[in-house]
Amino acid sequence: MRLSQRLLEGRKSFTQSPFWSSSQPVWGSVMPDREEIGNDFEGYIRDAYASNGIVFACMLARQTLFSETRFAWQPRRNGRPGPLFSNSELSILERPWPNGTTGELLTRMIQDADLSGNFFATTADDTGRLGKAATGPGRRIVRMRPDWVNIVLGSRSGNLHDLDTKPIAYRYKPPPHAGKDSEPVLLLPDEVVHFSPLPDPSARFRGMSWLTPVLREIKADKAASRHKLKFFEQGATISTVVSLDKDVTPASFESFVAKMREQTEGVDMAYKTLYLGGGADVTLNGANMQQMDFKSTQGAGETRIASAAGMHPVIVGLSEGLQGSSLNAGNFDAAIRLTADKTLRPLWRGAAASLEALMKRPGEDSALWYDDRDIAFLRDDSTDVAAIQANQATTARQLTDAGFTPESVVEFLETGDLRTLKHSGLYSVQLQAPGTLTPPAPKE
């Protein structure tokens, strides 16, 4: 039996209960021969991304900044990175699909990674071929929805808990559409982009959403928002207690309650004068938003959500980041540097490494890398780079004047290894003996 038939037949399906309504651990379990995405993808979209302003703001900040980079090839020389260069192979990243851009590709990558922990993609052409077979006209990158992808695992011994276990295929199986079942697609690992920036500790090859550790904060923030809305809907008071005379009949009581609600509940009825009769007594249990102190309650939760996203509250624009010394120039620059170094650059490195699966490298010593030189968000880093380059230029001038060859000086500045410096045998006039007309021969 062929490998693809053996992988596709005789396999049991596994589904988890909806994530947001399940009391089970959110990352689920590992199947014997494959790894499922460990959460409810639709639940994350519906109940976090699309319905919580803080989650949306954090993901928007990640998407906006992550999508700013470009890609280029970077050679390696003696273990050190060389200058970036481009070739025609990169065109599929510049136009990943018709009318698509690098920024749109990166936005899709980080969006899927944020919501499911994983982004999967392969290539297709106009003839219907996929993966490495897609070499015809219209070759493009196609996204594989993460909750429709299984990572199929294999081991020589047959025990998938052994150390030699590795991914042997990616199985893409969308649900039935319009009453028609879709055929599963099996792709080899070198045909699939798998971007998983945050590893799932319960699995060996899949990623985990950064939303997972802060689900309680998200639910608490949503509950607080509903509580605030309810505050305004109830006439901008926390609670109103109305007591009536003990002799009031049940029918009169029901009539009074209905009339009271009609004339007092809702935002439009707030602050109106309340007239009561028949011995009714009103007591307000809390009267204003200051007593409820929602700002500090929600602000702390917002900061924890932003921290899980790897975004500084100043960058996202959260309330706790927009006060006090946080907006000072030095502190704001530090927040930018922290976000870039801790979050963005590791994400870009991972994206470059995963996208390389679709590319043909120009040489064994070259790798796909990101180019962040024109990103406005990092302009302060550019100032630092310019200062470093100025110092390097001064060093290069001094070493060249001292007689070292320009080529060895450049290599020294790239590697920092003094042993790479080679002397030309020529010295400055200050080192020449008086009356010397020709420089001495270089020493062997």
Quote the pLDDT of residue 15.
30
Contact 107, 66 (CB under 8 A): yes
Rounded-to-integer distance, Cα 367 and Cα 357, Å: 11
Maximum average pLDDT range among 139-153, 260-274, 428-442: 139-153
Q: Helix 102-116 crosses helix 53-66 at what angle (to 10 degrees)?
A: 140
What are the φ and ψ backbone dihedral angles of 245, each rounded to 5 degrees?
-65, 145
Rounded-to-integer distance, Cα 159 and Cα 438, Å: 77
pLDDT digits over 237-257, tens only? Answer: 556 667 776 777 778 778 877
Contact 211, 308 (CB under 8 A): yes
Bridge-based pairing state of the strands 149-154 and 34-35 = antiparallel
Q: Which residues pair with 76 in a beta bridge?
A: 81
DSSP 88-110: GGGHHHHSSSTT--HHHHHHHHH
Q: Which residues contact 55 (CB under 8 A, 6 or more apart)?
A: 48, 49, 211, 218, 305
Quote the pLDDT of residue 386.
77
- What's the average model confidence in pLDDT over 144-161? 86
Quote the pLDDT of residue 11.
36
How many Cβ atoms from other residues are within 10 Å of residue 403's Cβ?
16
pTM over 0.85: no
Question: Helices H, strands E: what count in the chain?
Answer: 14, 12
Amino acid at 199: P
Rounded-to-integer distance, Cα 81 and Cα 62, Å: 27
Q: 14: pLDDT confidence band, cut at 50, 70 and 90?
A: very low
Quote the pLDDT of residue 276.
67
The residue length of the chain stands at: 444
Q: Which residues contact 441 (CB under 8 A, 6 or more apart)?
A: 425
Please tell me whether residue 79 adopts helix, strand or coil conformation.
coil
Contact 132, 108 (CB under 8 A): no
Quote the pLDDT of residue 19.
31
Maximum average pLDDT range among 41-50, 151-160, 355-364: 355-364
Q: 66: pLDDT confidence band, cut at 50, 70 and 90?
A: very high
Q: Of the candidates 215, 152, 185, 178, which has an alpha carbon nearest to the alpha carbon of residue 19?
A: 215
Please tell me whether residue 242 adopts helix, strand or coil conformation.
strand
Contact 371, 71 (CB under 8 A): yes
Q: 92: pLDDT confidence band, cut at 50, 70 and 90?
A: very high
Contact 93, 71 (CB under 8 A): yes
pLDDT digits over 199-225, tens only? Answer: 988 888 999 999 988 888 888 877 777
CA torsion through residues 254, 257, 262, 263, sign? positive
Q: How far apart are the first and last CA of the chain?
A: 69
